[in-house]
Homo-oligomer: A and B are copies of this chain.
C-alpha cells in the first residue's frame, strides 16, 4: 500500500490530517443552437478568479455521490427539471490547477436541448450564458482544457451512440438530425448516405406527422426509436 505516512496505522488513516486535496465536480453542459455547438459558462461572483468566466463547478456533499453532486449542480444552474444525459468525463488532478490550493475536479458533460432548458442565474454567480465553443471568453483555471476534452468526447460519443437525440426535441426531421451532426463535427455529410445509415440502423421511427407552415415541401417528423431517452451504442 502506498499511503502518506500521516495516514498510516493499524486503525484509522483518514481523519487524522487536514492537509488533503479537496474535490469538486466541473460541468461542461453542451447544447446545439443556431447551428452552433455551445457550452454553458458562468461568470464567477467570488474569489478566486472573481469576475472571470468558468465552467459550472460545485462541491460534493458528504451524503451525496459525485454523480449526484454533478446532477445537482446541473439542475440548480440550468433550471432544467428533466433528467438529461450526464456522463463522467475525466478527473483533473494537477496540484496547481487551482492557484490557491489543491482541488481535484471530476469532470462531467451534459447534453441538453436548448429549448427545454431555462438558464437561471443564482445568487452564487454573477452571470450565466451560452457561448459557442468556437468563440468563447477565456476561462479560469484549466477549464479550457476540460472544455476541449469534453468536445473530443462528445464527438466520439456522437459517432458511436445515439447521443445526438439529446440535443433535439421529441419530434424532429432527418434534416434536423443531420444538422446536429454537422454542427458538432463541423463538417458536411452527404444527405443520402446519412439517411441511409440512420434508417438501416432503425434509430428513428416515423411519427406519422409532418412539418407545418413551411413554404416548401413539408418534412416527415421522426422520434427516437424505442429507447426513448436512453443513449445506445450504434455500429
Which residues of A42-69 have CB atoms within 8 Å of chain B's CB atoms?
Answer: 42, 44-47, 50, 56-67, 69
Say whether A8 faces chain B, with CB atoms less than 8 Å apart: yes
Stretch with Cβ within 8 A of B (4 or more), from A85-93, A133-141, A218-226: A85-93
Instruction: Give Cα A153 to B175, complex, Å.
Output: 35
- The answer to whether A2 and B58 touch across the interface, beta carbons within 8 angstroms, is yes
Chain A residues packing against B (C-beta within 8 Å): 1-4, 7-15, 18-23, 42, 44-47, 50, 56-67, 69, 72-73, 76-77, 88, 90-91, 93-95, 100-104, 106, 122, 124-125
Q: With A and B bound together, what is the CA distance between A151 and B113 in angstroms?
A: 34
- A58 contacts B12, C-beta separation under 8 Å: no
* Bound CA–CA A95/B4 (angstroms): 22
Q: Is there an interface contact between A95 and B65, defined as CB atoms closer than 8 Å?
A: yes
4 closest residue pairs by CB, A with B: A66-B93, A1-B124, A2-B58, A2-B73
